[in-house]
Structure 1
């Protein structure tokens, strides 16, 4: 649905062509922007990105889910801000991969990949060899009873057996589906479903929000105007609490945004298919570590046009997570800095990037102690890497 609108508006946006494998700086950055840009060619229509060390060399690598070419691109980092394609990349990942989770699904100590397949009821699991290469797990893609099909995906051990499990949305029935891992790269299907608020449509994320040692699940409920937190008991069961948000909650990030050592929830709200700009926003719910969340002072905050996802990480090296929001129709990033005294916009925000920025991740790609930004640029078929100067 988002792609139909993008196809209409793209005619009004600047078109810049380039097909090199590693493209260098394609868009001129403003002088006060503290980033150096690099572009990496990926598959067709990258929707989401993830960052992790897939080849176990101590350096962060980049993964991109390419929804129209049905694969995942993998770039290996050299720890200095340089990247090269992994041998064999891109890797087939089922139909329309839309989100990426990383875990060690088969117990060999090498990172593996799970992607949600938008448009079909499957999850594709790719097992890594520890060198940056991936192959389909036995039985993958796995059929999942998601209604109508999965969008977001997350992974954690939800039942305490030390084996990573997978959670996907089943937004057509207002539920989350959890399939439990067997520890060999396969899963116990069809899994179990847990109720959320109305229409947990886009992304879900997982973290231990109440410091009990168990991974919890957070969904954004588009029709309900809320987020649901499913608190885990560590045995495969969940207790749900809902927290109100502004209208149209969509993407989610979980991080400590105010330096109190408790995890908070950031949510982007996009204008929907009616494209009402007044609904474009970023809201933040501060957690107390005791299963309670309250709106941050000043929330909601403004964004650009058509935000759909967001990323969290420490951009300025102060030890507190910051927020990056891609504004798809503006071709910009909105950046807010977290802090003990409140949330403030970065001096260089909004920052112009490519034509249609989509998924985003924040990680320290060059070991300088500051977060760098990775953006999926859907219509340009590349990933933008912004290294902190």
Structure 2
């Protein structure tokens, strides 16, 4: 089980919006106030229920923390330096919050069972106090007082996994200011060893865990923003890193996005980088033993500044392609793969935007077995949808209006018609937009419903066990969480 978190406004999501077995892409941009949907060829809501939490909630997770088979909510509050626990009744309603102190400026929260008692525990990365808080669960919805483990830096990203193969969960943290990662080995009883630190590049932005050398042991991959490289730490065993390397030190610069996938069908994981400073995409093919080829550069054009990457099959040939969102030239490029590590850059086709794209999501919106793209921005107050043709380009965009300054997007079938719908949290207009999908890559016009003050994050899930999707919204300035219970037909109950 792996969990990650990082301080960043840039994100990429991939999903099948129209059930054609092809990936579609959604891109969110904080500068343009809109969401663009790029699609590969294919009743309303009432007021929400609000629950008070701490000051400036920034991270929300859902799980059954009291073992009653009902989903509960855990929120990290950066302004009040605590976490809020809201226990679910199983009918979509929640108890008032119980708050537990953590460190200063908690950035992310995750849930897992650290002491093997089948009860969920909470781990929080505290950016300003430079530590990690562990709150062990009693299994009844309450938690022990935090235990803090010093990291002596600013943790920017956290990953969880069993890195030493002892069946006990460990914690890996990327330390923003000290240019290293901390590994805290778990004893399996909820306590952890003192950190062991390993140097990486300058200002590590994010950390990920995976087996990149096929030895059944988890390895660590870190993207370093200022040193323009990726650190790979291999074969962690009994408290030591057997091998550490730096990749692409002289290639791209100002790394903004890292994704992993098998681009040449050799069953080995490869690395794809968005090199913002050098205006290209770097591809590092893996040998399957933890080492990688020198990066292959794919130009995105002068002053393009690529900022986001999504992988998918955009032309229906069952091979992995690359979609790149370019910040300064305000377009998305397609790089079509042949399954052997070669890519044809579609220079004749660009998806142009009025303002810089920030976030992309790829998936199949219209059930045609090809990937489509959805792009979101801030300030433009609409959604654009693009449909891919067989040659890997896209139809003219279709725009869908949403609220002001959309900040978060979630996708799910909220009306049980087997077609994916879109839910958008609109930060400035204090509402959410619902766009019901027709299953062919197009969507109905939005229906908007009030949320709390400055909704910053939205998630979809069945919180009351009625097999119907509900909506959970974290409200940044309102310091609360809004719950909208779904009827299963695209409408929701009145707030309680």
TM class by smaller structure: 0.5 to 0.7
| 1:81/1:366 contact within 8 Å kept | yes
Change (3 A) 1:377 1:321: same
> So what's the TM-score if we normalise by structure 1?
0.65
How well do the aligned residues superpose, as a CA RMSD in angstroms? Answer: 4.9
Greater helix share, 1 or 2? 1
In the alignment of these two chains, the number of paired residues is: 323
Change (3 A) 1:160 1:282: same
Pairwise CA distance, 1:297: 2.2
Larger RCO: 1 or 2 (CA < 8 Å, sep 6+): 2
* Aligned-partner SS, 1:298: strand
> So what's the TM-score if we normalise by structure 2?
0.52
Change (3 A) 1:109 1:33: same
Alignment of 1:244-323 (within 5 A): 244=274, 247-248=306-307, 278-285=355-362, 296-302=371-377, 315-317=414-416
Pairwise CA distance, 1:210: 12
**Aligned residue number for residue 430 of structure 2:** 331
1:189 to 170, 194, 218: 194
Q: Does 1:377 align with 2:475?
A: yes
2:123 to 100, 114, 123: 114
Structure 1 stretches lacking a partner, 5+ long = 4-31, 232-237, 253-264, 288-294
Change (3 A) 1:96 1:78: same
CA distance in structure 2 between the aligned counterparts of 1:198 and 1:243, rounded to whole angstroms: 16
2:461 to 363, 371, 375: 363
* Aligned-partner SS, 1:300: strand
CA distance in structure 1 between the aligned counterparts of 2:422 and 2:180, rounded to whole angstroms: 27
Pairwise CA distance, 1:228: 3.8
**Aligned residue number for residue 225 of structure 1:** 256
Alignment of 1:157-196 (within 5 A): 157-172=162-177, 177-191=182-196, 193=198
1:63 to 54, 57, 74: 74
In the TM superposition, what whole-angstrom CA distance separates every residue of 1:260-317 from its partner, at most 9, and x where no partner exists?
Answer: xxxxx9999999xxxx982354312569xxxxxxx94234355656666555655444
1:37 to 48, 53, 58: 48
CA distance in structure 2 between the aligned counterparts of 1:59 and 1:168, rounded to whole angstroms: 30
Structure 2 stretches lacking a partner, 5+ long = 1-6, 10-42, 226-253, 263-267, 275-280, 282-304, 311-321, 329-352, 365-369, 382-403, 488-496
**Aligned residue number for residue 133 of structure 2:** 124
Change (3 A) 1:141 1:119: same
Q: Does 1:141 align with 2:148?
A: yes
CA distance in structure 2 between the aligned counterparts of 1:54 and 1:205, rounded to whole angstroms: 26
